[in-house]
Amino acid sequence: MSQWIALSRTKHLDHSFMPRQGYGFARTQQLVPILIAELGQLLPHYVLAFVQQNGRFTPVAVTGLGGERNLYLQADGKWLANYVPAILRGYPFSLANNEENQQVLCIQQDHLLEGQGSEPSSESGTATHSEQALPLFNEEGSLSQSAQQSLDFLKKCDANRRTTQAASHLLQESGLIEPWPLEIERANDQEPLTVKALYRVSERALNALKADAFAGLRRHGALPLAYAQLFSMNQLSQLSDRAAFHARQSAHAEEVDLEALFDGADSEIFSF
């Protein structure tokens, strides 16, 4: 099983890293945590829900219907939507707290290489070869441009994660989150798929809030999350359509122009 390695200038000054090639690492991920900052980009493509962890709720994008398949992932690791949730785009880097409770930059072990790579030199600022390793540190001992971009993006995500957690907690404390016995209809008289352990915003409870409680949600930024989850339920067909797409591919190995269907999914890696 792969591990996360805390980066150290002392230990890894002469190391490089292999950039992420696609999203194969998320092949079995059925639920992807989301951020308030990306709600507008998520809504056209995903069903949003909440999951309960340690008594608290976390908002997620639903990317699977059970089993082992992420319905948003092609066999070659290409993401089948025009927007990829931010939490996945920081890979192969992540942030974690060390023993002193200080936040440190970590890298996935399989992407850490001995020896220096070279920074991208093309005019577009991207690597000229898909397998090119990039340096972790520059000659001055500071993070390389590529690693620093990843760190800055992860910090921005982490700050918004705390905002998202606070908003979710406020919705919970306001009694607005309820179990969601989700059923996905399927074609050809197949039995509906049931997705368990999901939660949603109660539209009835939201509409019944008193004015001061409603104003409190607005003041603390929780209303966008509540309404985004409610509006996203119109995207349930995305899940059934993607399940049918994968079933057709498995049965007939048909060729599909994925570039035309899902163009630009990774065009802005370090933005929401």
More confident residue, 59 or 10: 59
φ/ψ of 152, rounded to 5, equals -60, -40
The residue among 98 and 219 whose pLDDT is bigger is: 219
Residue at token pair 């093309």: 122
Peptide bond into 135 cis (omega under 30): no
Amino acid at residue number 56: R
**Counts for the chain of helices (H) and strands (E), in that order:** 9, 13
At residue 247's C-alpha, the angle toward residues 245 and 251, to 5°, is 120
- Per DSSP, 93 falls in state E
Q: Which of 150, 143, 133, 149 is nearest to 16 (CA)?
A: 133
Q: How far apart are CA 167 and CA 174, in angstroms?
A: 11
Phi/psi-derived region of residue 55, left when phi > 0, alpha when psi is between -120 and 50, beta in every other case: left
pLDDT top residue among 202 and 246 = 202
Single-letter amino acid code for the residue at 66: G
pLDDT in tens, 137-173: 998 999 999 999 999 999 999 999 999 999 999 999 9
- C-beta of residue 135 within 8 angstroms of C-beta of residue 107: no
3-class secondary structure per residue, 234-262: HHHHHHHHHHHHHHHHHHHCCCCCHHHHC
- Buried/exposed 60-93: b ≥16 CB within 10 Å, e otherwise: bbbbbbeeebbbbbbeeebbbbebbbbbbbbbbb
Q: What is the pLDDT of residue 238?
A: 82
What tens digit of pLDDT does each residue of 14-54 get?
999 999 999 999 999 999 999 999 999 999 999 999 999 99
* Residue 118 pLDDT greater than 60, yes or no: no
Nearest to 240 by CA among 180, 181, 182, 187: 187
Q: Using CA atoms, how far apart are residues 224 and 48, in angstroms rounded to an integer?
A: 12
